[in-house]
Chain A
């Protein structure tokens, strides 16, 4: 395509309108999650999970706590035979406080935002303007559950994968 063969110099020198269009495409593609190279990580095995007993883990790195939970009913983005296993960043998207899981939802006790894990981490009450970033999961033939990527920005970062 035209834009991929253009040099930076041509690009800058191009018309304002064309430049604007190209930048827009480049921008929108570059930032839609998952736009980064996430490493796959094993979290648990299906047979170890019990309904409403969350499993804590860190993803994509040690400074980003996350929670995997089996809801016992189908959820958006759920995996497993019941499509009910989901995982989310465990930091409130509002100001980064750790979340509690109870009564089939996540609650933040700092400013009382609540997120529905069955509905894509939807903020159904509270201050958080962002839904909880959902962690994309996969399951292999032996029932191992893997984290694959984070859909949404983890609180406290401008990029989900921090430089080493």
Chain B
């Protein structure tokens, strides 16, 4: 008995099936996929000559070599012509990234397509307008007119900063450069507000200014470097689960010694060639640690720092390297700024403090032993036999990005790479792993609002979560392509306030209608909304999304967006900056429209309204957004990039995403091969060329040199080290009430809030509710077993979760899934943000745990509670 309908055969694409190039809509890896589409009933045959794939389907295919075609890769969709089509979305064997490999997320890409007979029928079909307690479908004309009038009216009355937003940024999740450019043009130019925030955080900021301000963009390596490195460092990155195919397709072969031939081709003559070692820095014993241990016992080092102490640990590893003389003196001399290096030596390496005393303090604070710190230093930097430098690739992600002191932590890690000469050479690099893929192009040069950088570059930027919660100057709030009711830090406090404020407006409008009747049209409705925003503490909330998400419950207007495969889009992956097209092969549901179209229509309507009242100045700012196609938006975005007719050495001057000269048509021709950004126009040949690896010649600073930075001083005393958001939990008996450290993260099983995945039976059975992982020792003490239901709570909020008992979190620390489909463990995160960047610290708070009576029988019966980090 299968728990849900399974298939035991699939239709075969015929020779004349329509074929499209696409890229996975989910994680940073950017696996290539091929799409085949053909009418239902017109299947191809089993012989190679009878089908589009040229595969002999009369025979069993060979493991690994054969094309993967599994049940979830097939679906049936309905076209705008009312006809049904088979769609097959299979991992591309022509993609250099995945080479036919795929993940548990990407394997279900086909299921995310809209089909009226599938759960994706839950997609939004029409614009929805709130009237009292209900949502009513309205036309696009009506919806656009209301938004345009409200935005214009609010801006005219209270200024551009009264418009706030939290919108999907820098591409990914199936929306790339096109949507990103449209959002930027709308808010930067048409509106001109500073009150911007990014899908997963409270402000408009880079998560890695600590690295960027050193002169290195965070995406500087390429996937080949993971195959060529002597040592791979994963810092706060559980790549097996969150960059799955990058880990298994490129890192594992290197750990296994299967890439030595590739190494021999690029290493220097006489340079030793060995299988890689791996260092994982993570408080949890993640699957990324245990898989590596299974493959390469003895060549894996796991460091488990106390939460939030990573920058001290990074500086300690650097100090150990320096102390042993393993730093790359030639690189430092030639490629880095020696003036700021003095600051680095004093503040980060703390050379004034004797080494033994320094290490004692580090051990006390971080909980990592001196022995392990020195071993990490050796594996990263001790030159190989013959004096050849070790090639170390460092990949970091949310464990540190969303850690304590974001700026200093990212700076500290990226400076180890500079200290050891690990930029710009095969097998080296230091950068983030990435969450989703990237497609950042925004009109910074023409922005009407002054946007700021870190505290060292005019910042920090404002915290928009706090702005919409507490400052009544905020009047309109756009939330698009994200679900902050689940994903924002300190979510319980946030949604309480957004609810109160949106409700205030709704109640005003209802009372108005009770006295005067419902408004006669969009103009009158907008007028009343603006009046209500003036007279109450109200907030007008517009949600743009594919689904009616959690945040939408308080929206006044919900606009239905097209998704992946429903409009052509383009984005780069994170491991190689590989730009490809994710082409259109299906139609959006109902009247849903691409995001770029929606923003373009609102701006264009604002332009008409300004022109009608003779304000040609404002009308001008709202013009140039009446796009007709995604290709046109992509070309428009290219105008933001600087002149890219530059030599190879000057690639460092270009923005990481520069695609100037590339068109949708070119990307269709290039297919899975794509082109690596930044793209240059070769001054000699005039041809477009990609950039395989960055910073081989120069860094991205005015003089081309890496700029050092001295991190903040620290105390080994936890009461002095941590901010008040944490130390309040140490005082007044709170240490007994909230005895556990709490950290959080993702699961391999589903993507983000599971906006698509929540409709797949596999995911619902496997992750039936939020969960926490608890160490066996703690569980024993508390009498808790796997499958028990607990309440996790603290002074921020609470969440109910099912428990997995395993040895992944250290004793005294529980780990939780950051959020699930409707529930969020972000209720427990504090409102701390780094004063230098406004980046939140999601990864630590303190909690109490209470076992609830009874259990959920369905969960016990159908969910697996086997340890997810034991592969032996």
- Tell me the A residues contacting B by CB distance below 8 Å: 16-17, 20, 23-24, 27-28, 31-36, 63-64, 76-77, 91-98, 102-105, 107, 109-114, 116, 118-120, 122-131, 133-134, 136, 150-160, 162-163
Establish whether residues A35 and B864, one from each chain, have CB atoms under 8 Å apart when the complex forms.
no
Residues of B within 8 A of A98 (CB): 63
Establish whether residues B40 and A125, one from each chain, have CB atoms under 8 Å apart when the complex forms.
no
8 sampled A-B residue pairs with Cβ under 8 A = A93-B70, A103-B872, A112-B240, A112-B248, A120-B862, A123-B104, A126-B748, A153-B9
Establish whether residues B63 and A125, one from each chain, have CB atoms under 8 Å apart when the complex forms.
no
Residues of A within 8 A of B240 (CB): 112
Kindly report which residue of chain B lies nearest to residue A110, judged by CB atoms: B64
Q: Which of B12, B63, B872 contacts A158 (CB 8 A)?
A: B12
Complex Cα distance, B82 from A83, in Å, reads 47
The 7 closest A-B pairs by CB, nearest first: A129-B107, A96-B63, A156-B61, A33-B8, A116-B864, A124-B864, A63-B60
Complex Cα distance, B60 from A159, in Å, reads 10
| Chain B 211-238: CB-based contact to A (< 8 A → 1; otherwise 0) | 0000000000000000000000000000
Complex Cα distance, B242 from A127, in Å, reads 11
Q: Which of B108, B866, B869 contacts A105 (CB 8 A)?
A: B866
Shortest beta-carbon distance from A37 to chain B in Å: 11
Residues of B within 8 A of A156 (CB): 60-63, 66
Establish whether residues A16 and B765, one from each chain, have CB atoms under 8 Å apart when the complex forms.
no
Tell me whether A96 and B82 are in contact in the complex, defined as CB-CB below 8 angstroms, given that A114-B866, A163-B58 are known contacts.
Answer: no
Chain-A contact segment, one of B71-79, B382-390, B616-624: B71-79
Kindly report which residue of chain B lies nearest to residue A20, judged by CB atoms: B84
Residues of B within 8 A of A134 (CB): 1-2
Kindly report which residue of chain A lies nearest to residue B861, judged by CB atoms: A76
Q: Which of A36, A152, A159 contacts B6 (CB 8 A)?
A: A152
Establish whether residues B82 and A16, one from each chain, have CB atoms under 8 Å apart when the complex forms.
yes
Tell me whether A20 and B63 are in contact in the complex, defined as CB-CB below 8 angstroms, given that A35-B9, A116-B866, A151-B2 are known contacts.
Answer: no
Complex Cα distance, B293 from A55, in Å, reads 29
B59 sits at the interface (CB 8 A):
yes
Shortest beta-carbon distance from A84 to chain B in Å: 15
Kindly report which residue of chain A lies nearest to residue B115, judged by CB atoms: A24
Q: Which of B8, B41, B107, B864 contacts A152 (CB 8 A)?
A: B8
Complex Cα distance, B60 from A163, in Å, reads 11
Complex Cα distance, B46 from A162, in Å, reads 10
Tell me whether A130 and B2 are in contact in the complex, defined as CB-CB below 8 angstroms, given that A35-B8, A123-B104, A123-B762 are known contacts.
Answer: no
B244 sits at the interface (CB 8 A):
yes
Tell me whether A124 and B766 are in contact in the complex, defined as CB-CB below 8 angstroms, given that A24-B84, A130-B107, A152-B2 are known contacts.
Answer: yes
Tell me whether A97 and B72 are in contact in the complex, defined as CB-CB below 8 angstroms, given that A31-B9, A76-B862, A153-B7 are known contacts.
Answer: no
Establish whether residues A111 and B248, one from each chain, have CB atoms under 8 Å apart when the complex forms.
yes
Residues of A within 8 A of B66 (CB): 95-96, 156
Complex Cα distance, B40 from A123, in Å, reads 30
Q: Which of B5, B68, B287 contacts A125 (CB 8 A)?
A: B287
| Chain B 63-99: CB-based contact to A (< 8 A → 1; otherwise 0) | 1101011111000101001111000000000000000
Listed residue (B11, B76, B294, B864) with the most chain A CB atoms within 10 angstroms of its CB: B864
Residues of A within 8 A of B64 (CB): 95-97, 110
Establish whether residues A24 and B287, one from each chain, have CB atoms under 8 Å apart when the complex forms.
no
Complex Cα distance, B100 from A113, in Å, reads 16
B10 sits at the interface (CB 8 A):
yes
B245 sits at the interface (CB 8 A):
yes
Tell me whether A33 and B7 are in contact in the complex, defined as CB-CB below 8 angstroms, given that A24-B84, A156-B66 are known contacts.
Answer: yes
B102 sits at the interface (CB 8 A):
yes
B782 sits at the interface (CB 8 A):
no
B852 sits at the interface (CB 8 A):
no
Shortest beta-carbon distance from B226 to chain A in Å: 15
Residues of A within 8 A of B871 (CB): 107, 112, 114
B103 sits at the interface (CB 8 A):
yes
Q: Which of A96, A114, A124, A160 contacts B62 (CB 8 A)?
A: A96
Complex Cα distance, B78 from A27, in Å, reads 14
